[in-house]
Amino acid sequence: MSRRIVTLLVSFLAVLATVVAGGLFAFSGGQAAQATDRTLPVKAAFYYPWFPETENWTTQYHPTLGKYSSDDTANIDKHIDMAKYAGLDAFISSWWGAGSKTAQRLPMILDRAAAKGFSISAYYEPEGTADPTIATIRNDLAAIPKDHAAYLHVNGKPVLFVYNAGASGCAEVTKWKQAAPGWYLNMKVFSGYANCADQPDSWHQYAPASAVQTHAPYAMNVSPGFFKFNETTPRLARDLTRFKSDLANLAAVNVQWKLITSFSEWGEGTAVEPATEWASTSGYGDYLDALHAQFGTATPPPSTTLTPSSTPPPPPPSNTVTKVLVFVEENHSLNEMKSGMPYTYSLAQKYGYATGWKAIRHPSLPNYLAMAGGSTFGVTDDAAPSSHPINASSVFGQAITAGKMAKTYAESETSNCQLTSSGNYAVKHNPWAYFTPTATERSQCQKFDVPEARNLTNDINAGTLPNVGMVVPNLANDAHDGSLATADNWFKARMQAILAGPDWKSGHLAVILTADEDDSSQSNTVLTTVIHPSQNAHVVTVALNHYSLTRFLEDVAHAPYLQGAATAADMKSAFGLAVG
């Protein structure tokens, strides 16, 4: 080798070493690790990758792409093309903690964004429904791929939006500053936020029922409207002229973050994503056209990107369950229920039931706590919540935290989350009421533990039954004070409405009927039936119990197992079911 070649080779290797040391050729997950650093102001929209498991997204409006899947990379590509047409710089992608569906999808979204020169930030949602500890926050943040090439950075720091409830005031800011050093924190405003001694890097608001929210110098939000899936009138009616005027003000305002609420929150009816209700000649819809006119480039991406995928994701298997509604009867054994509830047993024979299902113990309350919390919590009587405050999570609270819907329907309850018995309402049969010492559970119970009258019928007819639901008959109709025949007829009336309703017709609702305990005549063996289209005279002989039900509800909610549910026999496998 000549001296000249050697000299050139040494020089090349020296340059290469310098480049590598500078990080130009570092890789992470197949993408260059040099993350996207944006200059303020940043234009971004809140993005929701939680379809199709969030089912209430085509109630008021109908996306041009149809009922798409957030796992379909072709649709993610289309969404990013839409956002770039609108002149946006980034999506703020809903994120519900390590292991959640939204967490599983974030790397895929980042990969597609990197290929298209777009940026993604995470919107940390668990703080809005719970009070995660510093350790929990740090564990969650470790699961966010902040060094990905497409992850949004400002001033060299990864950006994290936090949907904090503000319940703890300035203490929440202090906690987050301690939990997330090195992050660019953008927290949700609350009363007194500007006076906190500790301050995040920036602030934002999330209040889409308001057309405009401005908190200078931090952020301005614009919303096209708010029409929630289960409401009959919009809280904020759509007005395209108003939206265009608000966008003009957004373009002119001097703030760090210019935000659109939202790109794709179909459940609240706030989306600017194209829909049949606001179709336009461009193919991008009136609201993206308005954004494009204010912020977009001269040449839009090809409109063909808006057509539905030629290979849509396959429908869920026929054994898939996305919603569960549990009915609980009282104090009768398997054999008694088979003979005394002919309608119920006919459904059990047609669909499926278990012959070896055991309640946990006697009396009633410990069994309800077991179903709702995976433990009896040491309770051995039927006393009121004031005597047994359960400072723990319930399956209902878990479902809501995981981004699902949960609701209990208590017959003869006179107000939401009633904590004392009255008339035929027995609080000992309404388990969510016992978990109210936990602030988050109390707030959720007060919203979603509702009187059965009207609420159950309305949700059945509207197709808005929750992902995790429980129906608690009153003492006259649960075979506690009344007869099994009365309980059977009561269940029949509701079941006939369910079988005629849209949730049942979707093929993914399972109705479960069980009893809290037997009358000590059959070693606490009770009838438990699973009514689902996939069941065909299915008799299950596997030994199951109420903790198996807890486990199944958590499977549907995609939530971690509580206490006894972790080791309980798997009801899902026993009945050959899947969850979506």
pLDDT at 18: 37
pTM surpassing 0.85? no
Ranges 173-182, 249-258, 410-419, 458-467: which has the least confidence? 458-467
Give the Cα separation of 191 and 179 in Å (integer): 22
Fold adopted by 40-306:
TIM Barrel (3.20.20)
Say whether pLDDT at 28 is over 50.
Answer: no
pLDDT at 76: 95
State the amino acid at position 335 in one-letter form. Answer: N
Of residues 16 and 283, more confidence is placed in 283
pLDDT at 14: 41
Query: CATH says 320-516+538-579 is which class?
Result: alpha beta
Contact partners, residue 472, CB within 8 Å, separation at least 6: 328, 408, 409, 410, 411, 429, 430, 452, 478
Model pLDDT for residues 553-570, shown as the tens digit of each residue: 999 999 999 999 999 999
Q: DSSP per residue over 171-235, as a string? A: HHHHHHHHH-TTSEEEEEP-TTGGG-SS--SEEE---TTSSEEEETTTEEEE-S-B--TT-SS-S
pLDDT at 299: 53
Judged on CB neighbours under 10 Å (0-12, 13-18, 19+), 6 is exposed
Contact partners, residue 43, CB within 8 Å, separation at least 6: 87, 88, 89, 90, 258, 259, 260, 295
Band of pLDDT at residue 332, cut at 50, 70 and 90: very high
Give the Cα separation of 158 and 142 in Å (integer): 12
Q: Is the peptide bond before 533 cis (omega within 30 degrees of 0)?
A: no
Of residues 363 and 307, more confidence is placed in 363
Do residues 365 and 382 lie in contact, with contact meaning Cβ atoms separated by under 8 Å?
Answer: yes
Average pLDDT over residues 237-255: 96
Band of pLDDT at residue 442, cut at 50, 70 and 90: very high
pLDDT at 37: 87
Model pLDDT for residues 163-222, shown as the tens digit of each residue: 998 888 999 999 999 999 999 999 999 999 999 999 999 999 999 999 999 999 999 999
Distance in Å from the first CA to the final CA of the chain: 65
Percentage of the chain surpassing pLDDT 70?
Answer: 90
Average pLDDT over residues 121-139: 93
Band of pLDDT at residue 33, cut at 50, 70 and 90: very low
Model pLDDT for residues 492-541, shown as the tens digit of each residue: 999 999 999 999 998 999 999 999 999 999 999 999 999 999 999 999 99
Band of pLDDT at residue 2, cut at 50, 70 and 90: very low
- Domains of the chain, residue spans: 40-306, 320-516+538-579
User: If you search the block for the tokens 């994503």, which residue do you land on?
Assistant: 273
